[in-house]
Every structure is written in structure tokens, then in C-alpha cells.
Structure 1
Amino acid sequence: MEPHPRADTNTAPPAQQPGEAARQAECGPDDAEGGPEAQSGRLRFLDRAARRIARGVDLDETLRGLYEAAIPAFADVVLVHLREPLAAGEGLPAEPLALRLHSFAQGPEGAVIAASPGGAAGLVRPTVTTPFAELLLARQPVFGEVPEVEAVVSELLAPVASMPTASASAPAPAPASAPGRRLIVAPLYGRRHLLGTVALLRAAGRAAFTADDLLVAAQLATHTALGVEASMPSGHEASAADALQLRMLPSSLPETTGVRLASRYLPAAETSQVGGDWYDAIPLPGNRVALVVGDVMGHSMTSAAMMGQLRTTVQTLARLDLPPEEVLYHLDEQAQRLGSEHMATCLYAIYDPISQRLLVADAGHPPPVLLHPDGSGEVLQVPPGAPIGVGGVPFETWELPAPTGGTLLLYTDGLVESRHRDVWTGLDLLCGRLEAVAARVAPPPLDMLCDAVLTLLDPDARDDDVALLAARFDGFAPRNVAYWFLSPQPQTAGRARQLTRRALHRWGLGSMLDATELMVSEVVTNAVRYASRPIALRLLRTEVLRCEVGDDSPQVPRMRRAQAGDEGGRGLFLVDQLAERWGATLLSTGKVVWFEQQIPEEYRQRGPEAA
């Protein structure tokens, strides 16, 4: 490959402006070319710059390290164009070439200020000519006066004209149309592939770059590229992180009577490490459902692993039917046992479609938002407790109304908070967006509502994951519920059969009477044997007929095969044969044994209202 044209190293630089000598003596690399003192200054500058860039632990800190090292010691404006998306691991970046601009300039009193345009204005799709492609492949910096790459360089420098003027003490950058030797363009190459380019620009009143400055720029580009690449997960780690995140989020949401659910999850960016945001919906006895959203602080495989453990713990605690504050208390204990420095926020709510009430406990999480049936949005006033992992802090459960037709939104802070706005501003925008959607379509479908909410996100300012869980409250009509408390006495089974018979006659389900009476009698008889407090009997009529019998004994019944001479032991066998489904749920206060039967087709066609 032929060497690329460069400036003649024997060309004398322009005369220095007043005050230039003082800045050269201080900064080092701005010195006139040649001489031991000038070379020593460049070495000192590169040592400081390399250490400053290497301190960056993520992309933003790495680029800021370059800017603070190079401005004003070496340049007045630094433009870094990174490929979008940045490829991780062995894969090649997507084509055609798209570069995202990250720019900084010298501001008032010499401070380094951000001057990057956002949105589409910050995305450059340069016309890649063959000479420019060869420049990138050669991994060598060049002056802006090289004719073969002048067209592409002008595209890269187009945003300079719209950048804010620095200050009276810092001269404006040279015009992008004819930068000449006041510009150096260097490719950013990692260990495997091209990451982008860096352009170093000097103002019009300052000495032009020299040939030795090309070597300095090459070193700056190398250190920056390695720092950018180190801030990205490797290909193996990225794929493992993605798989881990997908595995630990729910593959689907449960379908429960009385509430409809929808969810969304968005990672921060393709190059971000896996986060610790999660959501869940867990069916509970009595057609209730637990709604959970949480966020482990930090972005790493450790955060994701801790998230998985906390989510599993929440599922186990929820199935014990503990109140929300107890769930958060035990979750906090578990987080401390994990021995991790990571903390988490979590909001745990239980929706009861029969009482149409909501129980909520908050551990440092953003408050839920309720879209009322009339289309108005409200931020629910749930006092936040301490985050999970702090330890020794009590949590409280708050009871709130859950109106039929309302929609509850649980979310992580990435939805309402960004670098450009605080949480409360984001909450105002969220309520406004919900009300706007409800004004167009009433009631808005859940999927439409979730998609509309996500349009609040600013892709250029979003640096956190977003988890969103939406619940539409359909409620449960009281006429479809029959509920009794019965004393644990020998005659209780007969009383339960009598009450069941009345309820089924009232609902027009006489054809199900014999089988239902038999199963109710068997389950209640078993509860009477072990209970010391009143037994709860509940019948629920939906698409199926569900019977629940609760008592205070923690002993869960097991089906066994009765011998020919045994007088008992056949109750659960009969339930297993007659019911569509059955099971037992262990609670903190005892247990619930339940069974379900399919309601006859003619009744479902007629509907519960006709009955």
C-alpha cells in the first residue's frame, strides 16, 4: 500500500502570536518542532495524557480523559466519532458506516465544556472514498490538508460551525472548510476493529500542527481506542449477559381473572453492560396477583446475578402469601446474606379484584402511577422506605383503592430520570403522556399505552435500563363470589354442602351440583381434622368454578392410595378424579386447598348475567 500524503516536515511553521511562547512552555507539545526540550515536553504530555485516559472506567470517562488531556495543551476542539452501534467482541460493525459525534471545546476560564449535538444532528454518515478507507486501514493520522480525504473531513467537521463560541480568552475554532494544518484526523483502532475517528483542531490564532504532532496524535488515538474498547463488554461476555438477562425476566405474564397485564423491557444501549432491572407478576390465592418491579444498582454481571437471586426470593415469599412489608423485610435480609455491596430498590403490590383494593410497600423505588378510568393520571403517594440491602429499617404497607377500569404502572427509574431531567419532571411528563393517550382512546389498550409511554425516552440521554409493568384493573363482580367462615366442628362438612348447593342453584349451575358437593365435603372434612380456628370456604364463578378452603394448619394434604380395608384416605383421590385442576398453597397463616371445574358450555354462552 502506498504511503498517504502528509505535510512536508521541512515546512516552517507560521510565526507565533503574542503569548504563544508562554503557553508552549507550560503545555509542552505546542513547542516548536525539534530540540531536546521540545521532545521532552511531548513525552511529559503523553505520559500525563495516557494516565488520565487510563483512569476512565466507562466510555464517558475515557472520552473526557482525552478531552481534558488534549484541551488546551494540544488542541482547542476535539471531535470523537464512534461507530454506531459499537461492535463488541469479534463481530464486525454494521454497514454502512455511521458515526456518533462526541465533541468538547474550551469554555470560559479554560474549562472543558461539552458541545455535542444530540439526536440525528450528532449522527454522521460520511461518504467513504477509497483514499479515506485506506487512511482508516493504515491506522495513521494525517493533516486536514490531504486532498484525497478533504471531502470526508469536511463532513466530519460540519458540526464545528454550530458549536458554541468558547470564550473571549479562548479563540473560536478554525473554519471547517479550510482547516489545513490546524487539523489532525486519526483513526481509532482497538485490538480487533475500527471504532471511529478523532479530529484535533486548533484555533486560527494558534500555531499550526507540526509533523511531530502527528506522532503525538497517534499515541492519543491509540490510548483512547484501547480505553473505549475496554469499556465495552467482550463478545462472549456480551452474549452471556444478554442470555442471562433474558433468562431471568419472565417469558410471559400470567393470565388471571380480574386483571390484565402488559410489560416492556429496554436495555440502556447495545454497548452497555447488563443491568439489574426486573419485573414480575405472581398469581396468589383468591384471584389476587402480586405486582413487582425492582432495580439492582449498577450495571455488571454481578448486578444481574444479584437481580436473579432477589427475583427468585420474591417469588418464594409471594407464594407464602406474606403481606408486602414482610416480603420486603425478608428480601432485605436475603440481600444482606448475599454479602454484596450492591443495593436494590423494589416496589411490591398486591391487587385484590374482589375487594378492589391495592396493598403497596416501597423500598426506595419511584412511586407507581395510576391512570384513572376518567383519563386522569395520578402519582400515588406511597412513602418510600430504605433500599433493599441497607438492613435494620422497617417497611410499611399502604392500602389504596384500585378502581375498576384503572391502570397501574410500575417502572424503574430509567423511564423518568435521565441526564437531562430529574425524577419529578419525568413523572409529570409520564402523567401527561398517559392522559394524552387516554384522551384519544378510552380506555387505551395496554400495549398501546406501554408503547406510548416509552416514547418519553430520550435515546441520546438514556443511560439506564427500563422495566415497565402495566396492570388494568377489571375487578371481580360481587355477584360472582360466595364466601363463608365455618367453625371446625363435625357437622361443618354438612353445612358446607348446604351452602354450596344454594350458591350453585343461584348461579344456575345445578348440573355441577353432585360433583361439587362431594369435593367440597371431602376438602372441608380434611380441614376440620387439623384446624383450630374458623375455616374459610369461598366459591368463585368465572370461566371456571373455583372452590377454596383455607385453614390455619400448615400441614399440606398429600394424595395417597388407600388400602381395601381403610375407612379414609380417598378424599383427595376423588378430588383428583373429578376436578379439572386442584392444588394446595402454603401460606404464612396456614394453607389453602383449591380445585376448579369447567363450567358447562351452555352456561358460558348464556353468560353469568342471564343466570
Structure 2
Amino acid sequence: MEPHPRAGTNTAPSAQQPGEAERGAEAQSDRLRFLDLAARRIARGADLDETLRGLGEAVVPAFADAVLVHLREPLPTGEGQPAEPLVLRLHSFAQGPGDAVTAAPAGAGPVRPTVTGPFAELLLARQPVFGDVPEIESVVTELLEPVAGMPTTPAPGRRLIIAPLYGRRHLLGTVALLRAAGRPAFTADDLLVAAQLATHTALGVDASMPYGHEASVADALQLRMLPSSLPETTGVRLASRYLPAAETSQVGGDWYDAIPLPGNRVALVVGDVMGHSMTSAAMMGQLRTTVQTLARLDLPPEEVLYHLDEQAQRLGSEHMATCLYAIYDPISQRLLVADAGHPPPLLLHPDGSGEVLQVPPGAPIGVGGVPFETWELPAPTGGTLLLYTDGLVESRNRDVWTGMELLRVRLEAVAARVAPPPLDMLCDAVLTLLDPDARDDDVALLAARFDGFAPLNVAYWFLSPQPQTAGRARQLTRRALHRWGLGSMLDATELMVSEVVTNAVRYASRPIALRLLRTDVLRCEVGDDSPQVPRMRRAQAGDEGGRGLFLVDQLALRWGATLLSTGKVVWFEQQIPEEYRQRGPDVA
């Protein structure tokens, strides 16, 4: 560390007893050297916190015993003048043990000094003044509101200087410099030093504001692109958490998503764009949108990652990303997983034991030319799958493998206390692994509790695309509804099944899939290999057909068509009467 010349202090007399002019020249040389070192130290700050700490380290104890900086909150940006009143937030520095300069927390909160009268004139004049000016004594009392461990009460004499901080366009705040008793009071020359310190600090703060503005915009952009809520699907419960990086870090590109798929399946996604910048956040949004589009095509996980990799290469080679894509099927109780360089998921088994799933990672998204693989794993009912980004398990003090083992142990500890642990409790407990002082990355977390789907609530058939298939579909539907005690829904359901199956027979070349699912609603799905999605239209008076989907639209609670890589699925849902829903989904 470069030594500080002690600015504003009396030097010991030499043996030759230099004259007053020589002492003045030596003091002036000391001040210039001090200001040169202070300016360089302040300018090294890459952001607001580092700039202010540079001021504290430069000034304490070489020029003052304590520094209190009050900045506008929020800091003004742009060309327009910020609205009054002037709200200032405290940042303070003092000498700690030895020569260390410590920053005291802003425990006093914001203060609102009067911005009219003499204090306003002082700020507009852009010149530092001694704190004993009678006209501003009340404001000085507010600015020096006591802070724990800080010598904020100046000793008698001129031991306080207040200097305004002016950036290129706006008043940013004030800086207060204090000297304790036992040290010479400030002089008129020290006002000039304070003015230079305030100028360099204001320029540093002003330079940090575009970064702060960019970071806040990127934060808002990133949060807007994350899902505002998670879907509610039968067979799985979901919970999530997202924590941005520490305030001194730039915004990252972490994201998570849960996307409903046909057949009550759900796609679970977590990803992380490498790097921290506004570009990373924007690329994250593009990749997340691409994943949503690919998922709705019902592609297998390795195909989703393959096409996502292609899209990332089109966006540019300067950014890569990791991604884990999984599909949970509550009916088969299986999990399909493909990994593109992402940390593996953790599974908390129903018995409370934790396991890091052995899913071999592929290359990150954006590398190009590397195939991905899909792995099929059991998804036991009552188990909990945890998908996360590396910010949860990796930090400056901990490698990713150590972090994953700590995460597994933490999951088991929570399950040992409460079995099964509620998802929100589990997510909150997991986040306690984070070390606030060592964390410099975003954290995205997605938890899925597997409830499964009782086989008694599923009816599934494959039917040949023949003219008599619609009649066969009505017959099978009738049997299933009688078995479930839903005879009151029979007429409407038979009619809609007949219309949708008839439409599938018209275009299909392979067997048609007919599936009925019973939850709090009755859902019917008809799949075929034709990519032609049906459209509802109004039939004219002389038309013999064209009324099928119009009837479905009138009778169903909701309906839709999903285009798949292998064809399409047309589905509709009906509300099950309350008296039958109260019996529970597992009652045959």
C-alpha cells in the first residue's frame, strides 16, 4: 500500500529550523502528493461502493478521522433534475484497529435536511464550508446523526468540513470530514483539499451511475422474463426461488421454467447463461422463449437441447449457457432428463434420503456439433426433485461438488425434521446454504414434488383410423364413465368424443390414441399423426359437416389443440359435478 503523506498536519521541525516560507512550500508539496494519491485511489473504484471506500481509505487517517458521505436516494440519472425533497443515505468510514479503515453500516437511515435557505445556498455554491457556520447548525446536527463506532461529534474548533458532491449534471449529496480532539483544526488550505476530494469523489460516483442504471434495467428485464407464477398441474406440485447476485455484481442470466405438456406431463427447466451483463439477461430471455416453443412441440429432451444449441449459435458465439431439461410423467411415474453442462439435479426420496442423480452432462449450449442424450429415471410418488443453478452450490469459498454434497445433507436434515417437508419450507431451508459474503452469482431454484397419477383414473386406447372407429370410441367412453360413476356426463362426453375422433380419422394414417383422465375435471385427449390442426368454423345452413368443433366449443369447459413433433393432440375438459369430485380422485 502506498504511504499517505499526512495532509493538514504540523510537521516536526528540522535541525535547520526552516523559515516560514519553506514550511509553507513543504506543506503545499505534502498536500499535492496527498491529493494525487487520493485521486488515484478514488478513481480505481469500479462501482459506487468501491469509489466511496477509496475515498475513506485515502482520507482516513491522513486527512480526517472520519468521513460521512450522504448520497441522494435514488441517485439522479438522465438530464432532468430530480424531484425534491433531498433524501440522503449515509455511507461512513472511520479508522479501525491499527490502520484499517472500516465502513460503518447505514443504521441511521435516510435523513431529510432542509434544502431551502442557507443550506441550499451552500450546496448551490459548490464550495466546502466549515461546520461552525451558524446558519447551517441545525442541518449539521442532522448530517452528523450518531452512528455506532463513529466519532461524529466534532471537538471544539474548526474540525468539521462539509463539501457538496456535484457530478456532471446533478447534485449527488454531501461529504463531511471530521477531526477528533488532539489533532490540529482544519485551515483555509484544507478547504481547498476538501473541494478537490469532493470533486474526485463526485466524478467517481457519477461514473458509477450508468453501471447502476444498466444493472437495475437488466435486473428488471431478468425478473420480467422469469415466470410470474408456476402452473398448477395434476400429479406434481411446484415451488421456486430466485435470488439476484450481490449488489456489487452484475446481473446474470439464470432462469427456470415449468411448462405443461399433453397428458398431464410437465417440463421442468433450469438454465444459466454464462457471464454477467445486460447481454446475458437478454440472451437468457431469448433462450427461455425458445425452450417454451420447443417444449410445446412435445419434443424429447435431447431434441429440445439440440435445437436450443442451434438457436444459441445463431445468436452469436460470445455467450454460452448451461441447461437441464426434464419431463415428468405422473402416469408412468418416470422422468426423462437431458443435461447440457448443468449441475445435476437432486432427488429427495420418500424415505428422506437424498441422491445426486447420475445424469452425464453434455456440452454447454452454444458449443455446437455435440449430441445430447436423454436418460430415463424413476420418479417415485412422494419424491422431490430439485433443479438449481450453480450459484446455489458454488462460491468463492466452495467448489461445486462440495456444494452439492452440502445440499444433499441439508435436504436430508430438513426431511428428518418434517416428513414430507412442505416445498416452501424446503426451498427456504436450501437457501440458508448461501454465504452472503462469498456469493457473487444469481441463484435459480425449482422444486417439484411428485404426487403421481392413480392408474384407476386413466383410461387409454389405440384405435385404427376406420369409419367405424367413432362408434367404438363412444362405446369405450361409455364404459369408462359408468365405471367412474359419471353417468350424468355421458351424453355430452360421447358426442364430443365422437366429433373429435371422426376428425382424427379423416386425416390419420396410423392408429389414433384416445385417453380419458379423471381429476377434478374430466379430460379427453385424441392424438393422431397428422400435423393439420383443426380450426373451428361456422357451418352454413346447407353444409353437411363443419359443426364438430363448434359443438365442442359450446359443451366443453375448455378445449384446444397441441401440435407435436409426431402429429397433434386435440383435447377438451368438462367440469365434474361437485358431488362426484368430493369422493376423491382415487375412488373407482
Worse-superposed segment, 550-559 or 496-505: 496-505
Q: 1 CA distance for matches of 2:534 and 2:96? A: 75
- Rate the CA distance shift 1:609–1:354 in 2: closer, same or farther, 3 A: closer
Query: CA 1:389–1:5 in 2, change beyond 3 Å: closer, same or farther?
Result: closer
Aligned-partner Cα distance in 1 for 2:531–2:151: 71
CA distances 1:527-553 after superposition (whole Å, capped 9, x unpaired): 122112221111111111111111111
| Cα pair 1:128 1:152 within 8 Å, conserved | no
Give the direction of change, closer, same or farther, for the CA distance of 1:240–1:115 in structure 2 (3 Å limit): closer
For the structure 1 residues 498 and 13, does the alpha-carbon distance in structure 2 shift closer, same or farther, using more than 3 Å as the test? farther
Structure 1 residue 399: Cα displacement: 1.8
SS in 2 for 1:394: coil
Mapped to 1, the partners of 2:16 and 2:381 lie a distance apart of: 77
TM-aligned CA distance change 1:595 to 1:125, over 3 Å:
same
Change (3 A) 1:3 1:439: closer
TM-score relative to the length of structure 2: 0.75
What secondary structure is seen at the aligned counterpart in 1 of 2:498? Answer: helix
Q: CA, structure 1 residues 565+92, in 2 after alignment: closer, same or farther (shift >3 Å)?
A: closer
Closer, same or farther: CA 236–183 of 1 in aligned 2, 3 Å: closer
CA–CA separation in structure 2 for the residues paired with 1:11 and 1:147: 32
Distance 2:323 2:473 in 1: 41
- Per-residue deviation, 1:462: 2.9
Residues 318 and 327 of structure 1 are in contact (CA less than 8 Å); yes or no, is this contact kept in structure 2?
yes
The 3 A distance-change label for structure 1 pair 37 and 69 is same
Measure the CA separation in 1 of the matches of 2:483 and 2:327.
30
Distance in 2 (alpha carbons) for counterparts of 1:17 and 1:584? 97
The one-character-per-residue Cα deviations of 1:1-60 (angstroms, maximum 9, x if unpaired) are 99999997776568999999999xxxxxxxxxxx87996797678667756754654457
Q: Relative to structure 2, which stretch is displaced further, 95-104 or 294-303? A: 95-104
Displacement, 1:141? Answer: 9.1
The answer as to whether partners of 1:145 and 1:179 remain within 8 angstroms in 2 is no
Structure 1 gap segments, 5+ residues each: 24-34, 166-175
Q: Which moved more, 1:574-583 or 1:10-19?
A: 10-19
Q: Is the 8 A contact 2:8 2:31 kept in 1?
A: no
Deviation at 1:388? 2.3
1:442 and 1:156, CA in 2 relative to 1: closer, same or farther beyond 3 A?
farther
TM-score (norm 1): 0.73
1:399/1:7 CA distance change after superposition, 3 Å: closer
| Corresponding residue of 1:14 | 14
Distance 2:27 2:5 in 1: 25
Task: Specify the SS of the correspondent of 2:146.
Answer: helix
Structure 2 residue runs without a partner (length 5+) = none
Q: 2: distance between equivalents of 1:400 and 1:449?
A: 22
Post-superposition shift, 1:111? 14
Cα distance change on mapping 1:95 and 1:600 into 2, 3 Å:
same
Deviates more, 1:141-150 or 1:503-512: 141-150
Shift in alpha-carbon separation, 1:212–1:334, aligned structure 2, 3 A: farther
Alignment-derived partner of residue 301 in structure 1? 278
Check 1:130–1:562 CA distance in 2 against 1; reply closer, same or farther (3 A cut).
Answer: closer
Q: How well do the aligned residues superpose, as a CA RMSD in angstroms?
A: 6.7
1:271 aligns with 2:248: yes
Deviations 1:268-317 (A, max 9, x none): 34576544222211110000111122222344333322222222111111
Report which stretch shifted further, 324-333 or 299-308.
299-308
Displacement, 1:474? 0.7
- Could you list the per-position Cα deviations for residues 463-492 of structure 1 after superposition, in whole angstroms to 9, with x for gaps in the alignment? 332222221111111111111222222332
- Structure 1, residues 101-121: CA drift from partner, whole Å, max 9, x if none? 99999999x9999999999x9
Go from structure 1 to structure 2 and tell me whether the alpha carbon gap of 1:460 and 1:355 turns closer, same or farther (over 3 Å shift): same
Moved more, 449-458 or 583-592: 449-458
**266-275 or 521-530, which moves further after superposition?**
266-275
CA contact (8 A) 2:457 2:586 kept: no
CA contact (8 A) 1:554 1:587 kept: yes
Tell me whether 237-246 or 574-583 shows the greater mean CA deviation.
237-246
For residues 68-123 of structure 1, what are the alpha-carbon distances to aligned partners after superposition, in whole Å with 9 as ceiling and x for unaligned? 99999999999999999989889999999999999999999x9999999999x999
Query: Is 1:336 aligned with 2:317?
Result: no
Question: 1:580 Cα deviation (Å)?
Answer: 1.5
**Aligned equivalents of 1:15, 1:322: Cα separation in 2:** 89
**8 Å contact 1:507–1:608 — kept in the other structure?**
no
Task: Determine if contact 1:16/1:206 at 8 Å carries over to the other structure.
Answer: no
- The 3 A distance-change label for structure 1 pair 233 and 444 is farther
Q: 1:161 to 1:2 in 2, by over 3 A?
A: closer
Q: State the match for 2:351 in structure 1.
A: 374
Change (3 A) 1:202 1:414: farther
* Alignment check: 8 A CA contact 1:296 1:303 kept: yes
Contact 2:104 2:147 in 1 (8 A): no
- Offset from partner CA, 1:483-523 (integer Å, 9 cap, x none): 12222223322322222222222222222222222222221
Find the aligned partners of 2:138 and 2:7 in 1 and give their Cα distance. 18
Q: Give the SS at the match of 1:539.
A: strand
Flag the 1:63–1:533 CA change in 2: closer, same or farther, 3 A: farther
* 1:559 CA drift (Å): 1.5
Q: Distance in 2 between matches of 1:270 and 1:314?
A: 29
Q: Distance in 1 between matches of 2:286 and 2:163?
A: 46
Q: Deviations over 1:561-582 (max 9, x none)?
A: 2233333222222222222211
Give the 3 Å change call, closer, same or farther, for CA 208–601 of structure 1 in structure 2: closer
- Give the 3 Å change call, closer, same or farther, for CA 106–10 of structure 1 in structure 2: closer
Distance 1:126 1:541, change over 3 A: same
State the distance in 1 between where 2:412 and 2:315 align. Answer: 42
Deviations 1:130-167 (A, max 9, x none): 999999999999999999999999999999999999xx
- Say if 1:163 and 1:448 are closer, same or farther in 2 by CA, change over 3 A: same
Distance 1:66 1:118, change over 3 A: closer
Moved more, 389-398 or 122-131: 122-131
CA-CA distance at 1:260 after TM superposition: 0.9
Change (3 A) 1:445 1:146: farther
Per the alignment, do residues 549 and 180 of structure 1 end up closer, same or farther by CA in structure 2, a change over 3 Å counting? farther
Q: 1:164 aligns with which of 135, 146, 151?
A: 151
Pairwise CA distance, 1:379: 2.2
- Structure 1 position 48 matched with structure 2 position 37: yes
Q: Is the CA contact (8 Å cut-off) linking 1:6 and 1:143 kept in structure 2?
A: no
Using a 3 Å threshold, how does the CA distance of structure 1 residues 17 and 36 change in structure 2: closer, same or farther? closer
Given that residues 155 and 180 in structure 2 are in contact (C-alpha distance below 8 angstroms), is that contact kept between their aligned partners in structure 1?
no
Quick check: 1:154–1:177 contact (8 Å CA) kept in 2?
no
Q: Contact (CA 8 Å) 1:369, 1:408: kept in 2 or not?
A: yes
Offset at residue 398 of structure 1 (A): 2.0
Q: Given that residues 116 and 122 in structure 1 are in contact (C-alpha distance below 8 angstroms), is that contact kept between their aligned partners in structure 2? A: no
Q: Quick one: distance in 2 between partners of 1:461 and 1:87?
A: 30
* Structure 1 contact 417–423 (Cα < 8 Å) conserved: yes
Between the two proteins, the alignment pairs up a number of residues equal to 588
Instruction: Give the Cα separation in 1 of the matches to 2:182 and 2:15.
Output: 10
Distance in structure 2 (CA, Å) of the matches to 1:194 and 1:421: 42
**Counterparts of 2:296 and 2:69, CA distance in 1:** 52
